[in-house]
Structure 1
Amino acid sequence: MMPSHGGKTVAQLSVLIQNGALDPVALAEETFIAIDSCKDQSIFVNLLEQRARAEAAASSKRIRDGRSLGLLDGIPVAWKDLFDIEGLATTAGSTVLKTSVPATRDADVVAALAGAGMVSIGRVNMSEFAFSGLGINPHYGTPQNPASTDGARLPGGSSSGSGVAVASGLVPVSIGTDTGGSVRIPAAFNGIVGYKATRGRYSMRGVFPLSKSLDSLGPLCHTVQDAVWIDAAMRGLGTPDVRRSSVEGLSLVVPETIVFDDAEAGVVSAFEVALKLLEKSGAKIRRQAFPAYAAIFELMAKYGPLVTAEAFVLHRERLAGPEAEGMDPRVVARTRLGEKITMTGYIETLAAREHLMAEFASSIGPGELVVSPTLPHVAPLTAPLLTNDELFVKTNAKTLRNTLIGNFLDGCGVSIPCGAGDAGMPVGLLLSGLPNGDEHLLSVALATEEAIR
């Protein structure tokens, strides 16, 4: 059951709440009823009913008294199961952490959005320990992609519950993490917007890590405008500081390296249609090879992925003990590969990363952004991947391929829906920018979304 206000953007809900047409308490209750009635019970892993009702009541009173905290006061939000919530154990999509010591305080970004008046509804499902781009979870179930009409399809990971919760209309926004594509992948698979901020743009205190060299955060929501509002609040700003730019005269670069390899025809077609719309609106599109892209994958083949090395260090004691028996065997196998990565290989990778970041930055012009398909394929059917390990590994690698480039280069990115591919499933267009170019990226994304949607 979708709530009567389900599918509305943050901005639409904000107008209703601020003018008194929608009470935050009623919206919170409507949300919990919809979650309880939803056929897919694998989306949420925790509901924060007591907290949410108190936050909604406080918001309602503030607004009645003329003391609104701003645009986001009373807006529901869901959190990926990596964010500390005071009083709860942070389980990171795993059952082995259920007995962990409860958090004594909210993660900083949870506190920041609470300070903006947002109502925390609950925590949502994810790939265990955030270590997969597909969203399959054998412990809590795998959320079903609501765009599918021909059987259960993947939600995308690792922020699987975030993508499905928003696409299903249960909440207008959910906050995820992105280490190799974990915000942008579920956004593209589910036909919503996903913004991966530059690493370090927000505080990571109280966020369960995967790879500290790559981990970043961002919202999954219905529009870029919503992402802009959430971004401001996560940084503690009272009002957004990003302004819409124009597509007219905008220069965009389409990579000719890696991103189109073995891409589905439907994805390429939807992407090219979006480019034509951007050109019609005045954008200048050029195409260019990026040797740095290929070098990233050569580096991983030689030394092993950074994420695998750092994930192994994080979980090595867990993998050596009885807890490993309670983990997803695929997560265990993938994490243990990090044991084979040498210290020399790790240091060489970090050094090469700095070089490739500089090389890439020098290969695009001032103000230019890179534009590509977010993913080379639409969301695959789930069933074949549940039992076929070889297919799982191959599909996971392909799903992460385009997006992990942005993490390795430490940039920022926004995935925007741009049409449909095979089986009528959503396709995403990915705008990518240089590190700390978030304001420019979001400004351009506002205009780009208007042109292609």
Structure 2
Amino acid sequence: MIPTLAELRTALDEGRATSLQLTDAALAHIADPAGEGVRVYTKVYSAQARAAAQASDLLRGAGLARSPIDGLPISVKDLFDVAGEATLAGSVALQGAPAATQNAVIVQRLLAAGAVIVGRTNMTEFAYSGLGLNPHYGTPRNPWDRAAGRIPGGSSSGAAVSVTDQMAVAAIGTDTGGSVRIPAALCGLTGFKPTARRVPLAGALPLATRLDSIGPIAASVACCAQLDAILAGDAQPLPKPARLAGMRLAVPTNIVQDGMDSHVAASFRAALSRLSAAGALLEEIVVPEFDELASINATGGLSSAEAWTWHRALIEHAGDRYDPRVLSRIRRGQTMTAADLLELLDARVRWIAALEERIARYDALLMPTVPIIAPTIAELTEDEAYYRTNALILRNPTFINFLDGCALSLPCQETGTAPVGLMLAATGGRDRHVLALGMAVEALLQTPA
């Protein structure tokens, strides 16, 4: 069982653990030659982390803990700037690039809160896939059925496995089309995608700035709420669990349940049954806007357009160093015209307005985060299987990024079975509401039936 931030904070406050002990344990897991550390981290800050942990212990001993995460080992995705280092974003194409002159805003906020940053985590190159495969640094294996070599999900692949394998107590990733929620779902963790404007993007290498958001992967909803508050600079008291009885929850029936494997379908339906028995008011609805999104994105979509704009100069002199599967997706933006982009932006405004009106009377949407359990890495060797599976895994989370909404993925499978994520989503700005509802749902699903 992965300890929560609150449990570790209590252990620190009561003197049952020190930050240095927690940090040394995380570093030992990273360095274990039999473990996944070499594929999970692209950079490890052993000396800096131990020094930060010692400083945290001194401050705590003087009664000066800086925040609820002071002294806790945290990992950050490889696309956040760290002063003095080039930001590589899981690629080799940026090797030799100028070093960052300052920390990303979220890195600085974590440091100010006393977090011990143990290293940078591996990811899909340039964050452009939901599978988590990386041909340059290796692919971390999912903790579920590790011998079979299953994908961790992406793009924040190393982030999730750093938490499952106790190489960090929590991780910070990014989510442009599900890149926090997908690895959380496939690895049995909780992941939160905030409304994009909630957390500053400054110092994060972009994929698509109109869709990018920054969020945590951790052991519980409360952990995610605590980290989200720090990342967002939100000084309000943390959300409290909502009351499930009377909550109006919409369950879309079109698109999002297509292609579910039997285990995901059974887990999803069991979760819905428990929510209904607890007094939540579930209503199955058709969401026509979901059917429309493919045609809206037919010319390439926002990710392709924005990725091509950022990458085109780099591709000119280092395109041969890209993962070909990533490069091919970025190049889709090359053929988009100004008219295509303007029509897409206008269509998005109309789409958001229509969907917000349709779901205004509901407290949240419920859907499977990912419709299948994690496939094996070997299954995705052929390009056709790779692209088909990538599209399927990204499908549901992407709706919420295009909506500019917020969403939480939390485990809903029976203990001892393959991880399955339940996604709770709402319109933009309802982050605290989603977290409060998620706490209640989590408590219900963790109670023995």
Do Structure 1 and Structure 2 share a fold, with TM-score over 0.5?
A: yes
Q: Equivalent residue of 2:39, what SS?
A: coil
Q: Is the 8 A contact 2:195 2:213 kept in 1?
A: yes
- 2:308 corresponds, among 312, 324, 335, to 312
Local SS of the residue matching 1:122: strand
Q: Does 1:217 find its partner at 2:211?
A: no
What per-residue deviation string (whole Å, max 9, x for no partner) do you get for residues 197-238 of structure 1?
110101111100000110001000010000011111112345
Residue in structure 2 matched with residue 73 of structure 1 by the alignment: 70
Residue 26 in 1 paired to residue 47 in 2?
no
For 1:9, the equivalent position in structure 2 comes to: 4
Residue in 2 aligned with 1:3?
none
**1:352 partner amino acid:** A
Q: Hey, what's the Cα distance between the residues in 1 that align with 2:235 and 2:194?
A: 19
1:383 is aligned to 2:371: no
Question: Which of 231, 236, 245 pairs up with 1:234?
Answer: 231
SS at match of 2:31: helix
Shift of 1:9: 1.4
Matched, 1:372 2:367: yes
The alpha-carbon deviation at position 310 of structure 1 amounts to 0.9
Code of the aligned partner of 1:417: P
Is 1:434 paired with 2:431? no
Structure-2 separation of matches of 1:31 and 1:39: 12
Q: Report the Cα distance in structure 2 between the residues aligned to 1:90 and 1:150, rounded to whole angstroms.
A: 32
* Counterparts of residues 30-49 of structure 1 (less than 5 Å): 30-37=25-32, 38-40=34-36, 41-49=38-46
- Report the equivalent of 2:443: 450
Distance 1:239 1:118, change over 3 A: farther
The answer to whether the 8 Å contact 1:74/1:117 transfers is yes
SS of 1:138 mapped into structure 2: coil
Q: Deviations over 1:219-272 (max 9, x none)?
A: 000100000111111123456432221111111000012101121121111001
1:272-311 correspondence to structure 2 within 5 Å: 272-301=269-298, 303-311=299-307
* 2:343 matches 1:353: no
Structure 1 letter corresponding to 2:287: F
1:104 equivalent among 101, 109, 113: 101
3-state SS, counterpart of residue 413 of structure 2:
strand
Pair 1:341 & 2:327 matched: no
Q: Deviation of residue 367 (structure 1)?
A: 5.0
Please state whether the residue corresponding to 1:398 is helix, strand or coil: helix
Q: CA–CA distance in 1 between the matches of 2:386 and 2:395?
A: 14
- Measured in 1, the distance between the counterparts of 2:176 and 2:24 equals 33
The answer as to 2:399 corresponding to 1:405 is yes
Aligned mates of 1:169, 1:23 — CA distance in 2: 16
Correspondence 1:51-200 to 2 at 5 A: 51-149=48-146, 151-200=148-197
Q: Deviations over 1:92-128 (max 9, x none)?
A: 0001212111112111111111111111000000000
Deviation at 1:71, TM superposition (A): 1.2
Measured in 2, the distance between the counterparts of 1:353 and 1:332 equals 25
Q: Which amino acid aligns with 1:383?
A: A
For the residues of structure 2 that align with 1:21 and 1:39, how far apart are their CA atoms?
27
Is contact 2:26-2:166 (8 Å) kept?
no
| Residue number among 239, 242, 245 corresponding to 1:245 in the alignment | 242
Distance 1:31 1:169 in 2: 6
Deviation at 1:344, TM superposition (A): 0.9
CA RMSD of superposed structures (Å)? 1.5
Letter in 1 for 2:431: D
Cα displacement string for residues 127-154 of structure 1 (whole angstroms, at most 9, x for unaligned residues): 0000010000000000000112551000
Instruction: Name the residue aligned to 2:260.
Output: 263
Corresponding residue SS for 1:169: coil
Give the CA deviation at 1:85.
1.1
Query: Aligned residues, how many?
Result: 444
AA of the residue aligned to 1:213 = R
Shift of 1:274: 0.4
Paired residues of 1:229 and 1:239 also in contact (CA < 8 A): no
Shift of 1:70: 2.6
2:120 aligns to what SS in structure 1?
strand
Q: Separation in 1 of the partners of 2:257 and 2:232?
A: 35
Q: Report the Cα distance in structure 1 between the residues aligned to 2:360 and 2:212, rounded to whole angstroms.
A: 27
Deviation at 1:424, TM superposition (A): 3.5
Instruction: Report % sequence identity.
Output: 38
Q: Does structure 1 conserve the Cα–Cα contact (< 8 Å) formed by 2:53 and 2:116?
A: yes
**Cα distance between partner residues in 2 of 1:237 and 1:309:** 32
Q: Which runs of 5+ in 2 are unaligned?
A: none
Contact 2:29 2:166 in 1 (8 A): no
User: 1 CA distance for matches of 2:315 and 2:84?
Assistant: 27
Q: What are the Cα deviations for residues 55-99 of structure 1, in whole angstroms up to 9, with x where unaligned?
A: 111110111011111311111100000111122111000012121
CA distance in 2, matches of 1:282, 1:424: 26
SS at match of 2:81: coil
Q: Is the 8 A contact 2:40 2:140 kept in 1?
A: yes
Q: Does 157-166 or 258-267 show the bigger shift?
A: 258-267
1:114 and 1:253 map into 2 onto residues whose CA distance is 39
Q: Distance in 1 between matches of 2:328 and 2:145?
A: 30
Amino acid corresponding to residue 119 of structure 1 in structure 2: V
Stretch moving more, 179-188 or 14-23: 14-23
Deviation at 1:7, TM superposition (A): 2.2
Q: Matched residues in 1 for 2:237 and 2:168: separation?
A: 21
